[in-house]
Amino acid sequence: MGRAGSAVVAALRRAVRGFGAVLGEGAYPAYVAHHRAAHPGVPPLDERTFWRERYRSQDLEPGGRCC
């Protein structure tokens, strides 16, 4: 194990995170980062509210899925 083992673990962790990102998991951190940079001093939405808003806007303007 040792160094090679931890390299494998790190690579696996990156793969899982990448997979999560493809599923859209990174949306909240990206929003918070954007919010901090663009509107410093204004607290960003909490995670629960953010996801509710996100799904609501998808209801109002649906995105496509292909055949």
Partner 1 sequence: MAEPRSTRQLEQDPALPPVAAPEPRRGWTPPKVLLWVAIALLGGVAWTMLAIVRGETVNAIWFVFAACCSYLIGYRFYSKVIERFITRPDDRRATPAESKADGKDYVPTDRRVLFGHHFAAIAGAGPLVGPVLAAQMGFLPGTIWIVVGVIFAGAVQDYVVLFFSMRRGGRSLGQMARDELGRIGGTAAILATLLIMIIIVAILALVVVNALGESPWGVFSVSMTIPIAIFMGLYLRFIRPGRITEVSVIGFVLLMAAIIAGGWVAETDWGAAMFTLDRTTIAWGIIVYGFVAAVLPVWLLLAPRDYLSTFMKIGVIVMLAGAIVVVRPEIEVPAFSEFAGGELGPVFSGSLFPFLFVTIACGALSGFHALIASGTTPKLVEKEKQTRFIGYGGMLMESFVAIMALVAAISLDRGIYFAMNSSAAATGGTVEGAVAFVSSLGLTGVEVSAELLQTTADNVGEESIVSRTGGAPTLALGLAHIMQQLIGGTAMMGFWYHFAIMFEALFILTAVDAGTRVARFMLQDSIGNVAPRFKDTGWRPGVWITTAIMVAGWGAILIMGVTDPLGGINTLFPLFGIANQLLAAIALAVCLAIAAKRGVRSWLWVVAVPLAFASVVTITASMFKIFSPVPAVGYWANHVAFRDALAAGETTFGTATSVEAMEAVVRNTLVQGTLSIVFVSLAIVVIVAALITTVRALRGRAAPEAEDAPQPSRRFAPAGLIATAEERVIQREWDARGPREPRGGH
Q: What share of the chain is helix, strand, coil (3-state, %, to 5)?
A: 70, 0, 30
CA 44 to chain centre: 15
Q: Name the minimum Å distance from CB 25 to partner 1.
A: 4
40: left (phi over 0), alpha (psi -120 to 50) or beta: beta
The binding site for partner 1 (CB under 8 A) comprises 16-28, 30-38, 47-48, 50-67
Which of 6, 18 has the CB closer to partner 1? 18
Which of 8, 39 has the CB closer to partner 1? 39
Which of 2, 24 has the CB closer to partner 1? 24
